[in-house]
Amino acid sequence: MEVERVQAIASLSQRMDTIPSEFIRSENEQPAITTVHGTILEVPVIDLGNRDEEKLVQLIRDASQEWGIFQVVNHGIGNDVISNLQKVGKEFFELPQEEKEVYAKPAGAQSMEGYGTKLQKEVEGKKAWVDHLFHNIWPPSAINHYFWPKNPPAYREANEEYAEKLQGVVEKLFKSLSLGLEVEEGELKDAVGGEDLIYLMKINYYPPCPRPDLALGVVPHTDMSTITILVPNEVQGLQVFKDDHWYDVKYIPNALIIHIGDQIEILSNGKYKSVFHRSTVNKEMARMSWPVFLEPPPELEIGPLPKLINEENPPKYKTKKYKDYAYCKLNKLP
Ligand SMILES: O=C(O)CCC(=O)C(=O)O
Ligand SMILES: [Fe+2]
């Protein structure tokens, strides 16, 4: 079956000032109506190079409790590594449509991997203004190079380099998040699979949109991952829901945006919050983002850490295999 890519629809709508009606959100979702303007609240920005470890733990703990999202600077990944990742991703999405289709996600495949467009019409039968590419980048045993673009030729090296460097950031984050819960520093990482933790890369490509006031990119959701580490391009678009309102997340060049996902909320028995977020689109420019979802192996069972449970603190979440959690979430089952 031929799937209509948003990028193809966008190139047709460029000459018009309208978008197909299935992309027009209801008023209670339209970004022009529901976004708070002006920087009233700002997502915390944390210096990951801070040598005062206790302070770092405290900052990450507070941001994860209060917001479920923060940006990190001084994270140790070179600007060149990030700009190479962005460059090859952009080049891939700028290839002719038929070259991208080579990587299309096979119909009915279990895995997320491949090039695609969300098929199911989302909330109220509406579509999202975005195409994507998914593929694992770590560990080597989880990688299927079939889904890694061969063009541009530097694609593979740029992604390998980023995956390599990302591991240091992942270690630091899990360590601080564990210490923030007053458990051993390796406890959360072990609970999500240790060295078997899977790094799933997604590239979101949001083509220019004639009516960014009416459409949405990725619709409101929480990530089902443990943590998501996201690199945006320079086009503003990520928004978080806080105290009943939608706020823009400020673009900071070379910063990484860290989302707490559902599995960390569950493991922490609700102390850390999985952040509710969405993305908007731009009239003139293509927005792109590179979230890496850190996912437990499918068969691993995840529930609140036993050390956090006692008579006063009963478990607030069920323990489930990650694959069952994902199945229920995707199919909107309890
Ligand atoms: O593009 C963004 O900034 C957010 C994307 C996102 O939330 C997702 O793909 O899960
Ligand atoms: Fe997300």
Residue 186: inside a domain:
yes
Residue 330: inside a domain:
no
Structural tokens at position 325: 């959690």
Distance between alpha carbon 320 and the CA centroid of its chain, in Å? 22
Domain residues for the domain of 15 are: 6-298
Check if 223 has its Cβ closer than 6 Å to any atom of ligand 1. Answer: yes
138: β partners: 199
* Cα torsion angle, 249, 253, 255, 256, sign: positive
Check if 132 has its Cβ closer than 6 Å to any atom of ligand 1. Answer: no
**Structure confidence at residue 84 (pLDDT):** 98
Rounded CA separation 200/17 (Å): 36
**Structure confidence at residue 1 (pLDDT):** 45
Rounded CA separation 23/127 (Å): 5
**Structure confidence at residue 287 (pLDDT):** 98
Helix and strand counts by DSSP (H, E) for the chain: 9, 13
CA 250 to ligand 1 centroid distance, Å: 14
**Structure confidence at residue 190 (pLDDT):** 98
Check if 218 has its Cβ closer than 6 Å to any atom of ligand 1. Answer: yes
From the list 100, 126, 172, 277, the catalytic residue is 277
Residue 307: inside a domain:
no
Residue 305: inside a domain:
no
Check if 248 has its Cβ closer than 6 Å to any atom of ligand 1. Answer: no
Domain containing 14 — which CATH number? 2.60.120.330
Determine which helix (DSSP H) or strand (DSSP E) holds 61, and give its type and residue range. helix 53-66
Structural tokens at position 9: 């629809």
Catalytic residue status for 75: no
Check if 114 has its Cβ closer than 6 Å to any atom of ligand 1. Answer: no
Catalytic residue status for 221: yes
Catalytic residue status for 132: no
Stated pTM of the model? 0.96
Left (φ > 0), alpha (ψ -120 to 50) or beta: where does 74 sit?
left
Residue 194: inside a domain:
yes
Rounded CA separation 139/197 (Å): 8
The interface pTM score, or ipTM, of the predicted complex is: 0.99
Residue 331: inside a domain:
no
Residue 304: inside a domain:
no
For the CA of 202, the closest atom of ligand 1 is 9
Nearest CA to ligand 1 atom 6: 218
pLDDT in tens, the chain (334 residues): 456 899 999 988 777 788 999 999 999 999 988 998 775 678 999 999 999 999 999 999 999 999 999 999 999 999 999 999 999 999 999 999 999 999 999 988 889 999 999 866 555 578 999 999 999 999 999 999 999 999 999 999 999 999 999 999 999 999 999 999 999 999 999 999 999 999 999 999 999 999 999 999 999 999 999 999 999 999 999 999 998 899 999 999 999 999 999 999 999 999 999 999 999 999 999 999 999 999 999 999 999 999 999 999 999 999 999 999 999 998 888 8
Structural tokens at position 315: 């478990």
Check if 280 has its Cβ closer than 6 Å to any atom of ligand 1. Answer: no
From the list 118, 165, 221, 323, the catalytic residue is 221
CA 69 to ligand 2 centroid distance, Å: 11
Per the structure, how many domains does the chain have? 1
Residue 121: inside a domain:
yes
Query: Which residues are CB-neighbours of 14 under 8 A, at least 6 positions away?
Result: 208, 210
Kindly list the protein residues that place their beta carbon closer than 5 angstroms to ligand 2, a single-atom ion.
223
